[in-house]
Amino acid sequence: MGAWFTNTIVATGRLPLFCFLCAFLVAFLFIRFSVRMIRAQVSWWPGNVTPGGLHIHHVMFGMVMMLVAGFGLIALAEVSTPVPNVVLASLFGIGSALVLDEFALILHLSDVYWSTQGRSSIDAVFVAVTITGLFLCGLHPLGFDDDLVGVTSTDAVEVVLTLVFFALQLVLVVITLAKGKLWTGLLGLFLTPLLLFTAVRLARPGSPWARWRYLSRPKKMERAVRREKKYRVPVVRAKIAVQEAIAGRFDADPEQRHAVTEAAHREAERAALDAAEAVRRAGPIGAPRTADQPEPV
């Protein structure tokens, strides 16, 4: 195990990235544990930081840590300093975890931490961990690492072929995202064969692709809706279960802290049908609005 770690992580220069990921995960799990203890009103656990009655969210501490660590990494960029790099990378990971844990508050400019909108914070954390893990495994998105060798080559044919390959990847990414498959589009940046598979599959019923292509093909829309209910809804349920196991229950009303609600699960089940109905009523993009179609709000 030690030899594998040395050869795979240390020798390849990924030790700072490894420390960043470890610090990120530890900090995220700790801060979630802390806020759950505060939410449960555990008497012996330290509460929120409220000097003078002002509640300072932990995103502020995270921003300060990221600024300090980022400045340190930039200042030492030209110096071979492995130990400080590891320390600063770890500090940056802690700060990133604190910031992304309150990503929903930044996005909505409101305290939606325990509302259903607060789930976007956990989604942001999942994305950060996934991307960091892929880089740690040696995978890189197009345009990074050795892919640029073909662009800088003196062989014109190699340059053209490399650019065509990049363009094809980008087209597949755009198609995948237009079909409403955000996660597979993200992973496809690192795993090109995944793009080839998802780009030819049916789009999600509420996606722009379905609006452009499926309104005149009701059978495809029906298949997309059936597939959404059969595959997507269970995945959403599982994701919500994992989110709430890690981060605590997200209630529709933050004040009802101990209320048990099934709204999130029902919302997932209705998503496919609601999206298909919205697409049908909206009509094709650019088409004139008919009398039975509501005015946009």
What pLDDT score does 203 carry? 87
Residues 6+ apart with CB under 8 A from 182: none
Do residue 93 and residue 132 come from a single domain? yes
Q: Does 82 map to a domain?
A: yes
Q: Does 99 map to a domain?
A: yes
What pLDDT score does 70 carry? 95
What pLDDT score does 80 carry? 76
Mean pLDDT, rounded, of the chain: 82
Do residue 188 and residue 208 come from a single domain? no
pTM of the shown model: 0.74
Do residue 50 and residue 105 come from a single domain? yes
Q: Does 290 map to a domain?
A: no
What pLDDT score does 191 carry? 83
Q: Does 291 map to a domain?
A: no
Do residue 9 and residue 88 come from a single domain? yes
* Domain closes at, from 201, 230, 249: 201
User: What is the total count of domains within the chain?
Assistant: 3
pLDDT-based confidence at residue 206 (cuts at 50, 70, 90): confident
How many CB atoms neighbour CB 85 within 10 A?
A: 19
What pLDDT score does 105 carry? 93
pLDDT digits (tens, 9 = 90+) for 125-171: 999 999 999 989 888 776 565 555 555 556 677 778 878 888 888 89
Q: Does 55 map to a domain?
A: yes
Query: What average pLDDT does this structure show over 221-227?
Result: 87
How many CB atoms neighbour CB 211 within 10 A?
A: 21
Q: Does 104 map to a domain?
A: yes
Distances (CA, A) of 104 to 24, 96, 115: 18, 14, 10
What pLDDT score does 7 carry? 86
* Domain closes at, from 164, 181, 201: 201
Do residue 173 and residue 190 come from a single domain? yes
Do residue 29 and residue 120 come from a single domain? yes
Do residue 131 and residue 151 come from a single domain? no
Do residue 131 and residue 23 come from a single domain? yes
Query: What average pLDDT does this structure show over 91-101?
Result: 97
Do residue 13 and residue 114 come from a single domain? yes
Do residue 208 and residue 272 come from a single domain? yes
Q: Does 289 map to a domain?
A: no
Q: Does 296 map to a domain?
A: no
* Domain closes at, from 154, 175, 201: 201
Do residue 13 and residue 129 come from a single domain? yes
- Is the pLDDT at 43 greater than 90? The verdict is no
Residue 52: domain span: 2-136
Give percent of the chain above pLDDT 90: 29
Do residue 190 and residue 224 come from a single domain? no
